[in-house]
Amino acid sequence: MGDLSVIDILLVEDDPNDAELALRAFKKRHVIDNVHWVKDGAEALDFLFARGAYAGRDMGRAPKVVLLDLKLPKVDGIEVLAQIKADPRTRAVPVVMLTSSQEERDVLETYRLGVNSYICKPVDFEKFIEIVSEIELYWMVMNRTPK
């Protein structure tokens, strides 16, 4: 699993192809090294709240940003977002919804719950890599988060 104490990005994505593209884009840019990929909402919550398989992880070392898909198995992205933003220990962690859903109700609901950004995944491979690279640049280099 690697060093889970220093995770820059928590990637929550059930589609292995999209996850692989995102991981490849991060690696290509050489901006960050510490991305942790989880495949469903339940695993994301376990990671963030240091429980289950992640019980030994220091919860005080939150990721710098969570890239969250909307349609996830076990626990959907809306519920993951709601739990992140409802808990004072994780509320300040930036969450970027990275999803194929362009439904206005999804955009409204995620912003109501406190999402920091909502980005629709492009279907084109090159555009997807470009979007992921721009997300990384903004959230890892340009944006300042609380310590």
Convert the pLDDT of each residue in 50-98 to its tens digit. 999 999 898 888 898 999 999 999 999 999 999 999 999 999 999 999 9
Beta strands in the chain (DSSP E): 9-12, 35-38, 65-68, 95-99, 117-120
Q: Is residue 4 part of a domain?
A: no
Q: Is residue 135 part of a domain?
A: yes
Q: Is residue 2 part of a domain?
A: no
Q: Is residue 120 part of a domain?
A: yes
Q: Is residue 26 part of a domain?
A: yes
Q: Is residue 147 part of a domain?
A: no
> Residue 38 belongs to a domain with what CATH number?
3.40.50.2300
Domain residues for the domain of 109 are 9-142
Q: Is residue 35 part of a domain?
A: yes
Band the pLDDT of 3: cuts 50, 70, 90.
Answer: low
Pairing of strands 65-68, 9-12: parallel
Count of domains forming the chain:
1
